[in-house]
């Protein structure tokens, strides 16, 4: 077995092992409602410790168990409020995203990249012109949930995108979407600021959708579209 196939096999075996551990030992029970209540009380007494536990739980949960970020965003809003909750959730998600990116780059890139290069669109935006399109691509895929967040993290590791660009872009571009859920959750939990927080969450949602639409329309072109535009000129 060559090195590329061996890496892929190891990755699949690790994924299978984590799935079996979660299935038979229910690892997700540690992220239950009781845990949320414990963190809520801890945040009142030891805020820094509660923040550290949240960061570790979300980073590990997103990578090892592929848990959805939505639940962590809602939890962050309930536990820490709209501002601190948004920053903590985005930071934790970015840590998990970077770890998944590195795993994808080491275990999957050698095997998956040659297959992805056969697609003209993927070849152009993810490999040949990735340095010109990296921030636009991250903006669109992070602002609009076209694909599962956890799957994107591994997939980006297969590309030629620089880790530094990926890390910074991921943190910046998940902030608006994260703020939608954290602010909305904080609004539902707060009688005093409910209307204000929900209006802010709605405004952020519309802003994210509009921004991603504009960038996709005016900056992202398929190879066929660009070829057609050159012929017209």
Give me the mean pLDDT over the 120-132 stretch. 73
pLDDT at position 198 over 60: yes
Q: Are 84 and 122 in contact (CB under 8 A)?
A: no
Name the range with the highest mean pLDDT among 92-101, 111-120, 122-131.
92-101
pTM of structure: 0.80
Q: Confidence class of residue 30 from pLDDT cuts 50, 70 and 90? A: low
pLDDT at 218: 65
Q: Is the pLDDT of residue 32 over 70?
A: no
Give Cβ neighbours of residue 9 (< 8 Å, ≥ 6 apart). Answer: 1
Are residues 100 and 67 in contact, defined by beta-carbon separation less than 8 angstroms? no
Mean pLDDT of the chain, nearest integer: 81
pLDDT at 172: 92
> Distance between CA 172 and CA 222 in Å, rounded?
25
* Mean pLDDT of all residues in 200-212: 82
Q: Which residue has the tokens 């090892």?
A: 64
Spatial CA neighbour of 56 closest among 84, 15, 88: 88
**Looking at the predicted structure, is the pLDDT value of residue 223 above 60?**
no
The contacts of residue 36 (CB under 8 Å, 6+ apart) are: 75, 78, 79
Nearest to 56 by CA among 96, 104, 100: 96
Residue 49 confidence class, pLDDT cut points 50, 70, 90: very high
Which one of 15-19, 37-41, 161-165 scores highest in mean pLDDT?
161-165
Kindly state the tokens that stand for 159.
Answer: 């590309």
The better pLDDT of the pair 27, 11 is held by 11
**How confident is the model at residue 149, as a pLDDT?**
83
pLDDT digits (tens, 9 = 90+) for 66-96: 777 788 899 999 999 999 999 999 999 999 9
- pLDDT above 70 covers a percentage of the chain that reads 82
Res. 101 pLDDT band, cuts 50 70 90: very high
| CB contact at 8 A, 60 and 100 | no
pLDDT at residue 183 tops 80? yes
Q: What is the pLDDT of residue 212?
A: 67
The residues, ordered by sequence, that sit 6+ positions from 169 with a Cβ below 8 Å of its Cβ are: 134, 135, 138, 139, 142
Per DSSP, helices labelled H in 159-222 are: 163-189, 194-218
């Amino acid at each position: 077995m060559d090195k590329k196939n061996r890496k892929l096999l190891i990755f699949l075996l690790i994924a299978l092992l984590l799935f079996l551990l979660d299935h038979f030992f229910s690892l997700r029970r540690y992220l239950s409602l009781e845990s949320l209540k414990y963190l809520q009380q801890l945040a009142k007494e030891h805020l820094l410790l509660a923040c550290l536990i949240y960061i570790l739980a979300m980073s590990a949960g997103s990578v090892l168990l592929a848990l959805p970020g939505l639940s962590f965003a809602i939890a962050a809003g309930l536990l820490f409020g709209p501002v601190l909750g948004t920053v903590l959730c985005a930071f934790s998600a970015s840590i998990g995203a970077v770890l998944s990116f590195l795993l994808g780059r080491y275990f999957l890139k050698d095997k998956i990249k040659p297959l992805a290069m056969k697609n003209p669109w993927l070849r152009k935006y993810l490999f040949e012109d990735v340095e010109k399109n990296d921030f636009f691509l991250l903006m669109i895929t992070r602002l609009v949930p076209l694909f599962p967040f956890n799957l994107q993290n591994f997939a980006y590791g297969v590309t030629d995108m620089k880790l530094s660009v990926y890390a910074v872009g991921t943190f910046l571009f998940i902030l608006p979407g994260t703020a939608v859920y954290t602010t909305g959750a904080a609004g539902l939990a707060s009688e005093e600021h409910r209307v204000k927080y929900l209006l802010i969450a709605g405004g952020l949602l519309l802003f994210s959708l509009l921004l991603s639409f504009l960038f996709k329309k005016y900056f992202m072109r398929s190879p066929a579209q660009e070829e057609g535009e050159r012929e017209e000129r």
